[in-house]
Structure 1
Amino acid sequence: MEDGGVSIILACDLNYGIGIDGDMLFWIDDDLKRFKEITMGKNLYMGRTTFESTGPLEGRKMIVLSSKDPEGADEVIHDFDEFRERLKNDKNGMLIGGANTVNSMIEDIDYMYLTIVLKKYKADSTILNPIKNGFALENESEIIIDEKTGLNYKYVVFKRK
């Protein structure tokens, strides 16, 4: 993980779809373990739907952008501009979704740590294509096959140009 700048971490399909009906498109145990390792001890910023999908995560502070006060959030920020400024100035913060929040902050994001499943799903929640929005591919893993689900995926890092 790079220090400085706004980073996001999430999983998507080949069309950058990240969810449907308020839930993730797929569950890959090793990816969830990686997410936990990377985010442990961090301040995680997210929209309300993402928080409702994940719930509180042990060892991480959950900071939620919402007009409501979702139960279990460590902190709720009601104003988008305040949310954006807090995240931009939080050296221990990461954005974890959802699509509306990520897309609204695309110009502020410096690093995207994506798990890309090499398949296209039906999704109602999609992030903007990094390549078309000022990012360059910095690093990618070999293709990994999840034994449990049979899904092929890879870890990819995009960096703002």
Structure 2
Amino acid sequence: MKNIIIIAAAAENNALGKDNQLLWHLPDDFKRFKTITTGHTIIMGRKTFESFPKPLPNRFHIIITRDRSYTTPYEQCAIVHSLQEAYERAAQEETVYVIGGGEIYSQAMADANLLEITRVHASYEADAFFPEIDPGQWELLREERHPADERHVVPFTYRTYSRRQKSR
């Protein structure tokens, strides 16, 4: 596996969600997420998986849970019990996407080489948060701003970060 990419939408205060629900509705961000992740393996925690009505189409899901008795009837899903086990399960993949939640993001930050972040320009009360992005570790490669409009009540910015190379 060459690329471990974290993809997330996080508010200005790093809020991700509350009660296993997103805090905003951004159709263009959903479309971007689908475009980026379709055809790839996605790694997520159990609660993130359970927030979907069913598995996302055209993606292989690796679900991390501490619950050793957890199962899913879906063929396009695998159950593992650690992030390391998720990486081993996806070892043949060129690129995997880590899609949440907060605890999985925190664990994966040390392994990721790219971040695809949608920064939602508001702050929210939440119970799941994205980890801080350390500018000493991450370089902003590009950003694309989106104002609020009739479909998006809050402005947001797509930001792509690359892990900084360690100097010798």
Residue segments in structure 2 that go unaligned for 5+ positions in a row? none
> 2:58 is matched with which residue?
59
Deviation at 1:88, TM superposition (A): 6.4
- Percent sequence identity over matched residues? 29
1:49 match: secondary structure? helix
Cα pair 1:130 1:136 within 8 Å, conserved = no
Amino acid at match of 1:12: A
Q: Of residues 87, 91, 110 in structure 2, which corresponds to 1:107?
A: 110
> 2:71 is matched with which residue?
69
Over 3 Å counting, the alpha-carbon distance change for 1:19 and 1:87 in structure 2 is: farther
> 2:40 is matched with which residue?
42
| Count of residue pairs brought into register by the alignment | 159
TM-score normalised over the length of structure 1? 0.88
Alignment of 1:1-161 (within 5 A): 4-54=2-52, 55-66=54-65, 67=67, 68-72=70-74, 74-87=77-90, 90-131=93-134, 134-161=137-164
Amino acid at match of 1:63: I
Give the CA RMSD over aligned residues: 2.1
Over 3 Å counting, the alpha-carbon distance change for 1:89 and 1:137 in structure 2 is: farther
**Structure 1 runs of 4+ with >3 Å offset:** 70-73, 84-89
CA distance in 2, matches of 1:36, 1:74: 17
Cα pair 1:45 1:87 within 8 Å, conserved = no
TM-score normalised over the length of structure 2? 0.85
For residues 124-158 of structure 1, give each alpha carbon's deviation from its aligned partner in whole angstroms, at most 9, with x where no partner exists. Answer: 10111112572121211133324224210010011
